[in-house]
Amino acid sequence: ARNDLQQLRRIIGTLEKIPGISLAQSSTDNVEIMPPHVNKGRGMSDLAEHLGIPLANTMAIGDQDNDLPMIRIAGLGVAMGNATGEVKSYAHLITETNTRDGVARAILRYALGVSDGQP
């Protein structure tokens, strides 16, 4: 409800003032609290380095603001059709929504080069 969202915004405002933490959201009704510099982009970068894969050869697919760090650093950043406006603005391209198999379509088309006959 509206009061819950206002309360969450106040909580986030208070948390943002605490040094030594990082905040992210994976939906409009939660907040994730992590150590600084811990995010999906850092995890993706560390994994790519461990596997010897250049970031230019990676693809990240996401829909929420907690996905922004990996969308930004991926060689190909893909936003889901139901992604937030900010995620879409940083993505290289936009796939279908989560209910229309967007992840599968993006993997088939852009990672495996298989046309699924859909935009």
- Quickly list H helices, the chain: 2-15, 40-51, 68-73, 85-90, 102-106
Rg (CA), the chain: 16
Say whether pLDDT at 39 is over 80: yes
Short-list 119, 1, 99, CA closest to 109: 119
Which of the four pLDDT bands, split at 50, 70 and 90, describes residue 49? Answer: very high
Say whether pLDDT at 54 is over 90: yes
CB atoms within 10 A of CB 111: 13
What per-residue confidence (pLDDT) applies to 81?
98
What per-residue confidence (pLDDT) applies to 116?
62
- Please write the tens of the pLDDT for every residue from 58-113: 999 999 999 999 999 999 999 999 999 999 999 999 999 999 999 999 999 999 99
What per-residue confidence (pLDDT) applies to 115?
77
